[in-house]
């Protein structure tokens, strides 16, 4: 994969986390590449953990717990999706670091 394609992917990652703060591939630096990788890895890890969280819609019973266990396994096999709550949390956690690295500080 060429450097331009890598920088475009890094820009897409940042635009995913910060949709109102557009960044272009030519703005990407080494520090931003490292930060994008760290943010994306943390978001994937947190989303994997979210797959295991039960989602009660009524008073839970043992039967409900068994069903939720099956659903959790099914969700965990689903792929690399990132939950919106995880996206917002990771974006907030790294916001100042992102802006500082973007300015070159």
pLDDT digit string (tens) for 60-95? 676 766 776 666 666 556 556 788 888 899 999 999
Backbone angles phi, psi at 81, to 5 degrees: -80, 150
The predicted pLDDT at position 83 comes to 81
Tokens 């096999």 belong to: 77
Residue 20 is predicted with a pLDDT of: 87
Residues 6+ apart with CB under 8 A from 25: 4, 7, 8, 10, 11
Q: Identify which of 41, 43, 40, 46 has the alpha carbon closest to the alpha carbon of residue 14.
A: 40
Mind listing the pLDDT tens digit for each residue in 29-68? 889 999 999 999 999 888 888 877 766 666 767 676 677 6
pLDDT confidence bin for 97, thresholds 50/70/90:
very high
pTM of the model: 0.71
| Averaged pLDDT, 17-24 | 87
């Amino acid at each position: 994969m060429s450097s331009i394609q890598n920088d475009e992917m890094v820009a897409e990652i940042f635009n995913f986390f910060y949709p109102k703060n557009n960044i272009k591939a030519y703005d990407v630096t080494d520090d931003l590449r490292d930060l994008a990788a760290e943010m994306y890895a943390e978001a994937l890890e947190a989303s994997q953990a979210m797959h295991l969280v039960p989602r009660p819609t009524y008073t839970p019973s043992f039967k409900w717990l068994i069903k939720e266990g099956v659903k959790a396994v099914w969700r965990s096999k689903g792929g690399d999706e990132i939950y919106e709550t995880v996206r917002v949390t990771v974006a907030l956690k790294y916001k100042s670091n992102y802006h500082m690295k973007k300015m070159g500080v």
